[in-house]
Amino acid sequence: MWFVKRYLDVDSGFVLLRLSLVMKLKRILMVLLIVYVSIPCIIKLCPSIQAKLVFLNFVRMPYFIDLQKPADQGLNHTHNFYLQPETGLSIGVWHTVPARMWKEAQGKAGDWYESTFGSAHPVILYLHGNAGTRGGDHRVQLYKSGCVIVCLCVGWGDSDGSPSEGAMTSDALFVYDWLKRRLNEELPLYIWGHSLGTGVATNLVRRLSDRGSPPDALILESPFTNIREEARSHPFSMVYRYLPGFDWFFLDAITANNIRFASDENVNHISCPVLILHAEDDGVVPFHLGKKLYNLASRSKSLSGHKVQFVPFPSALAYKHKFIYRSPELPNILSDFLGTAHPISP
């Protein structure tokens, strides 16, 4: 009888343990379900949240990076400064010179950096993506390649700090005009956008083309067609993509914030050479969106007579969304495309 009682006690213990685990699992699943259902409702009721998710201007990666000290990232040939397009609004800018000028740049102040605009090197206005691509590995390593003098915006937003497509484009236009006033007329000025920055870049070049002063070329790295198609394809949307009303909950919230980044429309108003770079294994902006944008650009009447080129990078290279700078062929690709007397190479 003692053995039978002990067996029953052990069996009862297992049953109670299983019941306890089942109840905990049910509670966890219930919490997850509530969160899953709540997120689209919250975004629909508060569309401003969707804008923050698009721009991710509240995220800094790496977290402890000090954007005022590019030397901390190994960029000892880079100067940080600020431009003020209007009272109460500052645009953070990095100006980096080619690696061949690295030693000469040590300890130099802003006046020396500005004097380099009179050199024979072409200039690129680089427009970064959101969140980590602002100060992260992609941008730092691209600058370390020493391809060109680069001047770029490192912060987006209105005077109150809130993100805005219009403010981003206006900031970029202000920096572009600031550069043009300092450059020799014969010196080429290119615009390079990466990820979300490609949307800013096409907005900017459309404005410049409309006023009859397009840049010498536009380079789009990992671009998308428009923000709705990118949001639908983004890995973060995977868990909701097949949810009934996905467009109404998420994509319409983006539209409500007046966020479009319609590069597919902009290419019909751009009048300068366009180079598109895209990795086949890009998991953030799918390769097919870059290819689709190229197909639209190649048929654009405004781009007729201008060189439009698409350069794919095979998945085997593992360049993904932000490692195209690793390509040893990149300087040659840029030099061949631009076809100038100022080769873009280290």
Catalytic position from the list 79, 194, 234, 321: 321
The answer to whether 274 and 308 are in contact (CB under 8 A) is: yes
| Integer Cα distance of 225 and 15 in angstroms | 56
Report how far apart the first and last C-alpha atoms of the chain are (Å, whole number): 87
- The number of C-alpha atoms within 13 Å of 130 and in the hemisphere containing its C-beta is 20
Q: Is residue 195 among the annotated active site residues?
A: yes
Catalytic position from the list 128, 209, 282, 300: 282
Q: Is residue 66 among the annotated active site residues?
A: no
The answer to whether 322 and 137 are in contact (CB under 8 A) is: yes
Catalytic position from the list 195, 222, 233, 300: 195
Q: Is residue 321 among the annotated active site residues?
A: yes
| Integer Cα distance of 78 and 182 in angstroms | 18
The set of catalytic residues is 195, 282, 321
